[in-house]
Amino acid sequence: MCKRRMVAFEDYIKDKKHPFLIDFVVTQYFLKTEFQRGGLPHLHALLWVDNPPSLDTVEGRTTILDFVDKFLSTDLPDRNSQPRRYKLVRKNQYHMHTFTCYTNKPIVRIRRGKKELKNQQKDPIDVKTDQTSSINRSQEDDIYEKVDANIDPDLIDTRVERRQFFERAKCRFGKPEPLAAKTHFRTHKEARILTRGDRDIIIKRTTEESRRIVPYNINLLETFKCNHDIQIITDPWAAAEYLFSYVSKEAHMEKDLVQQLAGCSASTLEEARRVLLKAGNAVLSHRQIGKVEAAWLILGIPLYRCSMATVHLYISLPCHEDRLLKNINIDMNSVGEHDFIQTIIHRYSNRPATPEIINDLSLFEFAIWFSTDYTSSNYEESENNTLTPNPLWKTNYNEPPLLKTSTHFPRIILTSGQTMRQHRNAKCVTFTCLHDDTAQSIYSLLCLNIPFRDPVLEFLGGKEEPEIYDLHQVLVQHHH
């Protein structure tokens, strides 16, 4: 049932006919399934939208605030006129402090102004100022107004704000939220002291009840009847941090084990190495998971879902390249090129010369759109001559090089006889660029962006270990 809801949510956010985000269409998404203490799964999602408004313009910021007011709400529906919605919000979106809210220490961030550095030698003017200040301090009772702390409204408000602030600081979710007359971007004054849960956009909250309500979308709430917390990400680095934090989130038992071993004392370096090796093996080979998560893993249900597939390119200079053998028991004295596993770079080198659009593909473009076809569908070789180039190729990242003219996606036949199929959607390409190795970096850039058949011959002049100057000249030549 949980898996069905996950798939249903994926279809829900992908709907372009009736966009989930009203004014914006979701173009890409990343989903990560996690399991709570009781074993029930919950979902973390990161969504990219088409043509987002700019934060650098007044019009863009206004558009964002208008969208937030239209898409999210912190109001508690009327109990009498909207009893169903009232129950949904109270059950799923109303925050009440529990044991999971409280952390060991309140998390508070204070943005302080820069301190001015003064010379040790004081000017006569400074000395006079210090004398005046000392006089003022000695006459404080005469200078400052005396008030009764129990009835003065300013001091009473200060105590209330202080109590509310530390209540928020102790809560892991920063509840209850402060009141706000309208939705707005956090001001410099409001950003001076931050607690956990504070965000760049402060949503409109005009009642005490709304301070404890997690912002919700009424359509999503009525469709899935579950708790959700939606926020607008205004910083791309925050999005990257969010992705990596959940992809590489540590398990509690491994963390506790490392902390325990950190307190162990070792008398010699060799003993310390043995302790660390033992700890590393324990972390790699042991992990405690719940029953539900174990069932998901056994059934092969993916814990990660992403709208864009990723292919990694391993590009290395011939003198540093590692190759995998098809058969590890082969006689090493008689190893030939046919004994190695072919990579996407070798398949790219064997691409057909016709049509011209395929011949002119770079390795980067080839990796984005083509992968090995393992299907056993009937496919005639003559189709290679009927491939139709896409006139919109290179006008948009999502425009493929070949048009789909039949029920099957376009396929190309390599010179080795292998068949490659064009994807429905573009893939994401990753590669490792060693910035501390200049020759390797230049070679990677050339292989990625310049069409080639034999990179060693065309870029390195047939040398296994090229000179940096020669590689740079090749790069400059292709740049012009």
- What's the pLDDT score for residue 376? 59
Q: In 263-321, where does DSSP find H-type helix? A: 269-285, 291-299
Kindly state the DSSP code that residue 251 receives in the 8-state scheme: P
Highest mean pLDDT range out of 304-318, 372-386, 428-442? 304-318
Number of other CB atoms surrounding residue 362 within 10 Å: 15
Q: Is the pLDDT of residue 427 over 80?
A: yes
Kindly list the domain boundaries of the chain, sorted by start residue: 252-287, 313-479
pLDDT confidence band for 258 (50 / 70 / 90): low
Cα four-point dihedral sign 396, 400, 402, 406: negative
- What's the pLDDT score for residue 286? 64
Q: Is the pLDDT of residue 90 over 90?
A: yes
Residues in Cβ contact with 105 at an 8 Å cutoff, skipping those fewer than 6 apart? none
Whole-model pTM: value is 0.64
pLDDT confidence band for 305 (50 / 70 / 90): confident
Q: Which two tokens stand for residue 476?
A: 């400059």
Number of other CB atoms surrounding residue 307 within 10 Å: 17
Is residue 422 classed as helix, strand or coil in its secondary structure?
strand
Q: Is the pLDDT of residue 123 over 60?
A: no
What are the phi and psi torsion angles at 403 (to 5°)? -85, 145
Buried b (16+ CB within 10 A) or exposed e, 161-188: eeeeeeebbbbebbbbbeebeebeeeee
Residues in Cβ contact with 53 at an 8 Å cutoff, skipping those fewer than 6 apart? 59, 60, 61, 63, 64, 67
- What's the pLDDT score for residue 248? 55
- What's the pLDDT score for residue 158? 57
Task: Give dist(CA 146, CA 256) in Å, integer.
Answer: 54
- What's the pLDDT score for residue 328? 77
- State the average pLDDT for the chain: 77
Q: What is the pLDDT of residues 213-255, one digit of tens each?
A: 999 999 999 999 989 988 888 777 777 777 666 655 555 555 5
pLDDT confidence band for 457 (50 / 70 / 90): confident
pLDDT confidence band for 146 (50 / 70 / 90): low
- What's the pLDDT score for residue 368? 92
- What's the pLDDT score for residue 21? 86
Task: Give dist(CA 233, CA 213) in Å, integer.
Answer: 20
Average pLDDT over residues 341-370: 91
Average pLDDT over residues 133-152: 50
- What's the pLDDT score for residue 183? 92
- What's the pLDDT score for residue 55? 87
pLDDT confidence band for 374 (50 / 70 / 90): confident
Number of other CB atoms surrounding residue 216 within 10 Å: 24
Q: What is the pLDDT of residues 152-189, one digit of tens each?
A: 665 555 565 666 666 667 777 777 888 889 999 888 77
Task: Give dist(CA 219, CA 22) in Å, integer.
Answer: 11
Longest dimension (CA), the chain: 101
